[in-house]
Each structure stands twice: as C-alpha cells, then as structure tokens.
Amino acid sequence: MSFPMATTGLYSSVVFGVFSSTQRFLGQLRHGDAAAAPSLADMTVASSVAGFVSVAIGTPVDLVKIRLQMQTQPYSKADVKLKPTAPGSPVYRGPIHCFWTILQKEGIAGIYRGTVAMLLRDVPGYCVYFIPYAVFCDWATPEGCISPSPFSVWLAGGVAGAISWGLCTPMDVVKSRLQADGVYLNQYKGTLDCILQSYQNEGLKLSQEPVVWFSFCHWVKKVTLM
C-alpha cells in the first residue's frame, strides 16, 4: 500500500490540474475568456490530455503495486527453477526494491510495461468520467446558483465513476495482466495478444461484480482529494 498511498495525492492533483488548466487554455484560445463555459469538444480534449498525463505518472505506480500484490512464489536465483512450495524470500522486498529491480532488469520499457493498455483505459476512461460528471453537476444545479450543492457533487461523481469504470474494466484487466506478467514467465507478447488470449480462454466473462463497489471507492478517493 505504501507506494500508491505516497503517490496518489500527487497523481490526482496532476490529473485534475491538467484537466482544469487545459480547459482554461482552450477557453482562452477559442472563446477569448479562460473562464468561459467549456464546450463538449473542450471537455473531450481536456479529458484526453489528462488521460495521457495520468499514464505517464500512473503506469510505474500501478506496475509496482501489482507486482507486489501478486508476489506469492519464493525468490530464487536465476539459474534455479522456481518451485511454488520451496521456502525463501519474495522476489521483491518492498516498493523501492521492486522499482529498482525492474529498472535494472528491464529498463525504462519494463517500468512502463502495460502503457498501451493503460492509454486505452485512461484516455477514454477520463472522457466518460469528466464529461458525465460535468453534465450531471450542471443538471443538478438550480438556476441562479453559481455552483452545485455538495450532495449534487457526490451524486454526479458516483454516477460518473460507475459509468467510467463500467466501461473501462475490460482494459483494466488487460493492463493488470500485462503488468503482472514477466516475473516468473512471459505469457503475453503484447496488448493485442493479451486481449486475444483472455478472450479465447474466458470469452467476455470479465468480472463485473466488483465494478459498482470499485467505482464507489475510486470516486470517494477522487472527491476527497479534489
């Protein structure tokens, strides 16, 4: 938990800051007023830019988190075959050791394993998060009020989070499988191969049961950090 907890504040601040700054830049560029109400096109562009930036920061963090979470087999030297029941220490001793081990063995490409899948998750994901959020906030704000009520913000955030993660869960599965791959064996050749193997082995049975709960928790985190 330590690595995500240490970086989630920076991550969310950068994402929301980039989204807001891009909206203001587009407002000034297209309408001559940075405070002008953003159009649907403006929000789409701002959401996409925020998605790209989130991948640059979030991919290494997610990689380390997933590698540590899936660490169930013991550590062994490179020339000794791993045995699931053999005693020993885990491959990674902690988040910093995990990061440097991946960097030393796989280079920058290893640290950014799963980037394509994360782009396919986050760029459209933030579009279907920020746009519904703005639409629902606007819809729930009475005429004459400058800003929506706290309840409206919570409601809009919850609905937007459910829509976003409901649509992005399949690519999140692919991204997680790619990032977990490579510790003990390489099962996937890339994003497309992971998608094809997952579909061939499991069809469309990507688990949707935790989506509502996960969406709620993810939204609470974002609202808390806003």
Tens place of pLDDT per residue across the chain (226 aa): 777 777 888 888 999 999 999 999 999 998 888 888 888 999 999 999 999 999 999 999 999 999 888 776 554 444 444 444 333 456 788 889 899 999 998 899 999 999 999 999 999 999 999 999 998 888 888 776 777 888 888 888 999 999 998 888 899 999 999 998 877 677 888 899 999 998 888 887 654 444 444 444 444 444 444 4
DSSP codes, 32-93:
S-TTSPPPHHHHHHHHHHHHHHHHHHHHHHHHHHHHHHT--SBP--TTS---TT----BS-S
Taken in order of first residue, the domains within the chain and their CATH numbers are 2-225 (1.50.40.10)
pTM of the shown model:
0.75
